[in-house]
């Protein structure tokens, strides 16, 4: 065994011997002998969870909150596979103190959450709702009181419905609406919160919500999608500038949903399809921010964006982010398909490819993918630092006698973390890892079925049970 490993084992076991009477190590490393520890990531590395307002808060229509596009969409017949909605979700609005206690008990020190725009600006712009503003003050204070860093995402998909009624992201005024909202949030909380993310996964909410209609607001077609892309891109940079102006010593980022793209086989047209898919998934929103413009050469249909680009816009798309949030779950395998007209690319379902390990979402477990995508993003000269702002998996967990034995999730995290560490050791500047997510919650158009949490939630009683994976993190992070 390598010397460093022997030393580490010695170190861990001697500490264990001293504190063993106080702590249980029953959960540590139940799957395989880990050949790394949390210490390998470094003392400054941040460990936490990521969440989103609509998925956990509930309290959808109280204390002055107005409906968001998700309130509207989830109430539409057939929009959510299970017929459920986020009206109550995890009731985090009322249980945040206890939920933050749970997070603290897992030895994690970052709570990433988003603000529900329509809770603090019920008209989208204009008059503020003090009760809503106070709620997030309480959440932030509750984090700080527990030694947990609050990391705020300005926008995690829940546009006020009243603004969607005016066209939402399709309307260029969205840049002004978003700027007003971002100004309010950063001026209000900027004294206490230093870590900020402008958007959660713009490629996901524009494509799912404005191109294929699977998510709110349920619109379809290029005519909706392309202007939404451009206005979101402008707002992304504008949001960065607003945070910089209003928050002293801010650490400013934005997050991207990204997956390594593989080609189905060696055919030329599959390769071309894969490169187009890579644009939509991974390149479309980061490259304009880095000053590279839209990746039109690799996806010619993007030339149609010119219709929405005004003089000075290309300059305004740039912002020098302090970090990039990489959110990765799986990989994509692409095969050409003439029936998908402008993309000519089709994602092949992992099952068809014979992948052995599939999560409840139908996503392939592919740990090496996170290593590859971290390398891909780190290769951009303008990317200074990366945080893994989401990674996790859904499995059909069951609570039996007050226990949730989610051994497959522990295995998932161990293997993904190993790949994150590999990238870090090879020089990728990675500052932290946030699990998706603390609580089982409302998984958008899938309803409550896919359970991603480190903590199991019984949605009838709101009872929480820390899963074995939660205990695994607790033990893994014990020595930090």
Q: What's the burial of 460, exposed, middle or buried (CB within 10 Å: 0-12/13-18/19+)?
A: exposed
**Per rule CB under 6 A, is residue 70 in the interface with ligand BGC?**
no
Figure out which of the listed residues 149, 201, 411, 440 binds ligand BGC, where binding follows CB under 6 A: 201
CA dist 285 and 318 (Å) reads 11
Between residues 240 and 450, which has the closer beta carbon with respect to ligand BGC?
A: 450
Q: Provide, rounded to whole angstroms, the least separation between the CB of residue 112 and ligand BGC.
A: 10
Positions 387 through 406 that interact with ligand BGC (CB under 6 A): 390
Figure out which of the listed residues 196, 256, 277, 436 binds ligand BGC, where binding follows CB under 6 A: 436
Beta carbons within 10 angstroms of residue 400's beta carbon: 8
Catalytic residue among 57, 238, 364, 390: 390
CA dist 208 and 40 (Å) reads 38
Between residues 133 and 281, which has the closer beta carbon with respect to ligand BGC?
A: 281
Q: What's the burial of 480, exposed, middle or buried (CB within 10 Å: 0-12/13-18/19+)?
A: middle
# residues contacting ligand BGC (CB under 6 A): 11
Q: Provide, rounded to whole angstroms, the least separation between the CB of residue 156 and ligand BGC.
A: 6
Instruction: Enter the tokens of residue 163.
Output: 């603004």
Between residues 416 and 436, which has the closer beta carbon with respect to ligand BGC?
A: 436
**Per rule CB under 6 A, is residue 254 in the interface with ligand BGC?**
no
Q: Provide, rounded to whole angstroms, the least separation between the CB of residue 303 and ligand BGC.
A: 28
DSSP notation for 41-75: G-TT-EEEEE--HHHH---TTSTTPPPBHHHHHHT
Figure out which of the listed residues 238, 443, 468, 475 binds ligand BGC, where binding follows CB under 6 A: 443
Residue 14 CB partners (closer than 8 Å, separation 6+): none
**Helical (H) or strand (E) element with 135:** helix 130-145
Q: Provide, rounded to whole angstroms, the least separation between the CB of residue 43 and ligand BGC.
A: 28
Phi-psi region of 442 (alpha: psi -120 to 50; beta: other; left: phi over 0): beta
Contact between 223 and 301 (Cβ < 8 Å): no
Q: What are phi and psi for residue 65, nearest 5 degrees?
A: -75, 140
Between residues 173 and 357, which has the closer beta carbon with respect to ligand BGC?
A: 357
Region near ligand BGC per CB under 6 A, out of 105-113, 125-133, 196-204, 261-269: 196-204
Q: What are phi and psi for residue 139, nearest 5 degrees?
A: -65, -45
C-alpha pair distances (Å), 194 with each of 110, 139, 141, 144, 197? 12, 15, 13, 12, 10
Between residues 112 and 231, which has the closer beta carbon with respect to ligand BGC?
A: 112
Catalytic residue among 57, 201, 287, 419: 201
Region near ligand BGC per CB under 6 A, out of 199-207, 261-269, 334-342, 419-427: 199-207
**Per rule CB under 6 A, is residue 52 in the interface with ligand BGC?**
yes
Q: Provide, rounded to whole angstroms, the least separation between the CB of residue 20 and ligand BGC.
A: 37
Going by DSSP bridges, is the β-strand pair 386-390/46-50 parallel, antiparallel, or unpaired?
unpaired
Region near ligand BGC per CB under 6 A, out of 35-43, 197-205, 232-240, 310-318: 197-205
Beta carbons within 10 angstroms of residue 62's beta carbon: 12
Figure out which of the listed residues 95, 129, 200, 414 binds ligand BGC, where binding follows CB under 6 A: 200
Region near ligand BGC per CB under 6 A, out of 22-30, 101-109, 200-208, 400-408: 200-208
**Per rule CB under 6 A, is residue 204 in the interface with ligand BGC?**
yes
Active site residue 201: yes
Q: Provide, rounded to whole angstroms, the least separation between the CB of residue 155 and ligand BGC.
A: 11
Contact between 256 and 327 (Cβ < 8 Å): yes
| Helix 407-425 / helix 468-476 crossing angle, nearest 10 deg | 30
Active site residue 390: yes
| Residues constituting the chain | 480
**Per rule CB under 6 A, is residue 155 in the interface with ligand BGC?**
no
Contact between 365 and 351 (Cβ < 8 Å): no
Residues contributing to the site for ligand BGC (CB under 6 A): 52, 55, 200-201, 204, 257, 327, 390, 436, 443, 452
**Which residues belong to the active site?**
201, 390
């Amino acid at each position: 065994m390598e010397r460093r490993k022997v030393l580490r084992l010695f170190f861990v076991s001697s500490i264990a011997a001293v504190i063993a009477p106080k702590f249980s190590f029953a959960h540590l490393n139940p799957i395989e002998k880990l050949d790394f520890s949390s210490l390998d990531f470094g003392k400054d590395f941040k460990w936490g969870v990521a969440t989103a307002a609509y998925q956990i808060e509930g309290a959808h229509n109280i204390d002055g909150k107005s409906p968001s596009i998700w309130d509207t969409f989830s109430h539409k017949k057939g929009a959510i596979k299970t017929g459920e909605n986020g009206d109550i979700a995890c009731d985090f609005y009322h249980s945040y103190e206890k939920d933050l206690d749970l997070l603290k008990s897992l030895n994690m020190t970052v709570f990433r959450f988003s603000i529900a725009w329509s809770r603090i600006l019920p008209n989208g712009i204009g008059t503020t709702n003090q009760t809503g503003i106070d709620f997030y003050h309480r959440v932030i204070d509750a984090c700080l009181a527990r030694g947990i860093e609050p990391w705020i995402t300005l926008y995690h998909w829940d546009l006020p419905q009243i603004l969607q009624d005016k066209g939402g992201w399709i309307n260029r005024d969205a840049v002004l609406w978003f700027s007003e909202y971002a100004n309010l949030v950063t001026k209000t909380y900027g004294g206490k919160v230093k870590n900020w993310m402008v958007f959660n996964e713009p490629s996901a909410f524009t494509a799912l919500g404005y191109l294929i209609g699977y998510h709110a607001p349920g619109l379809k077609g290029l005519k909706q999608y392309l202007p939404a892309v451009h206005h979101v891109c402008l707002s992304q940079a504008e949001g960065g500038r607003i945070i910089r102006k209003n928050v002293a010593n801010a650490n400013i980022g934005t997050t991207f949903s990204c997956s390594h793209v593989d080609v189905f086989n060696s055919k030329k047209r599959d390769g071309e399809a894969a490169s187009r898919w890579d644009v939509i998934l991974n390149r479309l929103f980061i490259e304009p921010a880095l000053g590279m413009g839209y990746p039109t050469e690799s996806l010619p249909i993007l030339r149609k964006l010119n219709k929405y680009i005004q003089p000075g816009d290309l300059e305004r798309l740039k912002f020098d982010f302090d970090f990039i949030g990489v959110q990765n779950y799986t990989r994509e395998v692409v095969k050409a398909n003439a029936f998908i007209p402008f993309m000519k690319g089709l994602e092949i379902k992992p099952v068809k490819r014979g992948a052995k390990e599939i999560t409840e979402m139908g996503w392939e477990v592919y740990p090496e993918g996170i290593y590859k995508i971290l390398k891909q993003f780190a290769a951009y000269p303008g990317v200074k630092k990366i945080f893994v702002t989401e990674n996790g998996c859904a499995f059909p967990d069951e609570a039996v006698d007050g226990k949730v034995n989610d051994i497959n999730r522990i295995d998932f995290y161990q293997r993904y973390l190993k790949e994150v560490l590999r990238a870090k050791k090879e020089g990728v500047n990675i500052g932290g890892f946030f699990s998706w997510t603390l609580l089982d919650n409302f998984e958008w158009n899938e309803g409550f079925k896919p359970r991603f949490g480190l903590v199991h939630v019984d949605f009838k009683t709101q009872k929480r049970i820390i899963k074995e994976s939660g205990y695994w993190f607790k033990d893994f992070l014990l020595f930090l």
